[in-house]
Structure 1
Amino acid sequence: MSTSSTVPTPAVRAAKARWARRRRRLIGYGLWDPFLPAEPVRAHLVLLAEIGMPRKGVEEALGLNRDALRHVTSGTYGYGRGEKVTRELGEAVLGFWPKLSDFPDSASVAPLGTLRRVEALAVVGWSRAQVAARIGRSYVSFKNSLKRERISAALAKAVAHAYDELWSQRPEDHGIPAWNADRVRRQAQADGFYGPLAWDDEDIDNPAALPQADAEAPAPTQGKDVADRYLLGESVVLDAVARRTVLLHLMEWTDLTVEQVAERLEMTEAAVSRAWERAKARARTEGGRVPWRRVYVPQRDVAQEEAADAA
């Protein structure tokens, strides 16, 4: 897989490391096969296109040369679509799922993640009218947008921003009458909506993801004990389950700050905090051991740091 001058993403680097190890091992066994079937890769690209991420956007996000995936989607030089793809390229594509920030504001995206965020906020007590006001839209316009098959990435990002601000906030603490918030909560419960603690930020826009109240969606693995291998320093791509395991370990047993954990796992600080609170809430509900920060993490003194920098 040739890459452009763009710095490779962690998914690409991990895929390269896995590919190199597997190549050496299988060559030694006389079983070296550097290719994967192209159909699963093609199906994943179709799924990405359905949510508004075209092939060229995937190539750019993964640091690939222009048209690097053309032979998979449409064929090149008069030949039909390829039946195989290099293992390195295939694993990089299959391990990629775009974040909202990967889309330009003008892009047209599927509304599923936005709907999930709005429904999760309703579980907390925030109505659609209040969310619309928060993002500067009229209620009617906002309601109609959520009914469409596609919405603008700008609207999806605005809702995501409001979600990050409001998911842990009680409407009553922001001047919303208690009867209003209670009515929204009761209706959300009757409609079977899932709250913020049911979703990981990395999965909420993914149509294949399930709320954590349901069974985990099957996903390709990188072998056994992925989380343990990651913590021991091996270059692997974490799936959703392994990522949560690593996050809980880092939060409970290390002195890394939330900011450092977020940077290490390529998450937002809000997402790390939400996952941590979700894990504690689930443990309390199930009567299990509630995780807690066992290592003292000193708080940053911003004023002192600024004074030291000025000196």
Structure 2
Amino acid sequence: MSTTSAQSNSAVLEAKARAARLRRRLIGYGQWEPHIPAEPVRTHMRALAALGMSRAGVERALGLRHDRLRHLMSGAHGYPPAAKIEKDVGQAVLGFWPKLENFPDTATIEPTGTRRRVEALAVVGWSRGNLARRAGRPEVSFRNSLNAERVTVALAKVVARLYDELWKLRPEDHGVPPHLADRVRRQAEVQGFYGPLAWDDETIDNPSTLPMTDAHVSLLGQGENLATRFLLGESVILDAASRREVLAYLMEWTDLTVEQVAERLETTPAAVSRMWERIKEKARKDGRAAPWRRVYVPQRELLQEEAADAA
């Protein structure tokens, strides 16, 4: 078995174990509700299908057996589509929004996330022509692809890579004439584009997500105090607001590195950095002191202190 397959199987087993622990806990509290209405889950599945995600693709991504969601979507064995669905399966579907790695490069997907990344980089000052050159593509072809009804996953991955590389870099510091970068920024402002701090990496590809809001697909039955329960070790699915609350706590009050925070939240270090910057920016706009890393000391500083003590 390959390393990738082993890691995937391990993740599936871990997710199932977390779900089993939560189920046992809720049964013990007398709060176990085994089923939820199926229609919200079906609606979410249709949104995934519009993006380009097949039912089989959702089943694979969630570690469900083949055809597990068939009865939900189209009925089976002469029965109509289900009116209810098992709670753990339904919540897993509602909490799932595919990432680019869930698609093969040859697939085509809905272009919202790709366009948002290009527009966010325009706010920073990166033009489409500059992005096309960095992507190794003709500018006309690049522009036409972004205006199409669907984009290839290969292009979406290239744009996502550029977004991760450039979102915090000033074009002027990397060979772009200042007057050209300023012009791109002015045009982005006129067109109403949103910058990188307006988007969460987890939801930037979701067309229903709004910039700089807590809008998120609801997760039935998760209850209240999600951030606190998550930090105490409970197996809950975080919504967008709770996710930011957890990240803010981990970044401000623990000695975890950005990479470790990303691992705990099952995201990327770049996403953690962007969300942390966004949290600080919002605090400043609200007239509050921006949070800072109160506990974390970079390893290089520890080494420097040890060297000074030894001297």
List aligned pairs for 1:5-20, cutoff 5 A.
Answer: 6-7=9-10, 8=12, 13-20=17-24
Q: Distance in 1 between matches of 2:288 and 2:97?
A: 33
Counterpart amino acid of residue 21 in structure 1: R
**Residue in 2 that maps onto 1:168:** 168
Q: Displacement, 1:161? A: 0.2
**Residue in 2 that maps onto 1:278:** 278
Q: Displacement, 1:288? A: 0.5
**Residue in 2 that maps onto 1:80:** 80
> Secondary structure of the equivalent of 2:288?
coil
List aligned pairs for 1:1-311, cutoff 5 A.
Answer: 6-7=9-10, 8=12, 13-26=17-30, 33-212=33-212, 214=213, 216-217=215-216, 219-220=218-219, 222-299=222-299
Q: Displacement, 1:6? A: 3.6
Q: Displacement, 1:18? A: 3.5
Counterpart amino acid of residue 180 in structure 2: N
Decide whether the 8 Å contact of 1:257 with 1:297 is kept in 2.
no
Q: Distance in 2 between matches of 1:252 and 1:138?
A: 44
Q: Displacement, 1:38? A: 1.5
Unaligned ranges ≥5, structure 1? 302-311
Range with bigger deviation, 197-206 or 33-42:
33-42
Q: 1:122 to 1:11 in 2, by over 3 A?
A: farther
Decide whether the 8 Å contact of 1:59 with 1:68 is kept in 2.
yes
Q: Distance in 1 between matches of 2:13 and 2:99?
A: 13
Q: Distance in 2 between matches of 1:94 and 1:22?
A: 20
**Residue in 2 that maps onto 1:307:** none
Counterpart amino acid of residue 148 in structure 1: A
Q: Displacement, 1:215? A: 6.0
Q: 1:165 to 1:21 in 2, by over 3 A?
A: same
Decide whether the 8 Å contact of 1:123 with 1:195 is kept in 2.
yes
Decide whether the 8 Å contact of 2:109 with 2:151 is kept in 1.
yes
> Secondary structure of the equivalent of 2:147?
coil
What count of residue pairs does the alignment treat as equivalent? 292
Unaligned ranges ≥5, structure 2? 1-7, 302-311
Q: 1:9 to 1:264 in 2, by over 3 A?
A: farther
Range with bigger deviation, 242-251 or 74-83:
74-83
Decide whether the 8 Å contact of 1:23 with 1:34 is kept in 2.
no
Counterpart amino acid of residue 155 in structure 1: L
Decide whether the 8 Å contact of 1:250 with 1:261 is kept in 2.
yes
Q: CA RMSD in A?
A: 2.0
> Secondary structure of the equivalent of 1:20?
helix
Q: 1:228 to 1:38 in 2, by over 3 A?
A: same
Range with bigger deviation, 106-115 or 278-287:
278-287
Q: Distance in 2 between matches of 1:68 and 1:298?
A: 47
Counterpart amino acid of residue 57 in structure 1: G
> Secondary structure of the equivalent of 1:168?
coil
Q: 1:269 to 1:129 in 2, by over 3 A?
A: same
Counterpart amino acid of residue 216 in structure 1: A
Q: Displacement, 1:10? A: 6.3
Identity %: 60
**Residue in 2 that maps onto 1:304:** none
**TM-score relative to the length of structure 2:** 0.88
Q: Displacement, 1:40? A: 1.2
> Secondary structure of the equivalent of 1:146?
helix
> Secondary structure of the equivalent of 1:270?
helix
- Deviations 1:204-252 (CA, angstroms, capped at 9, x unpaired): 001121111x463463361111101111111111111111110010011
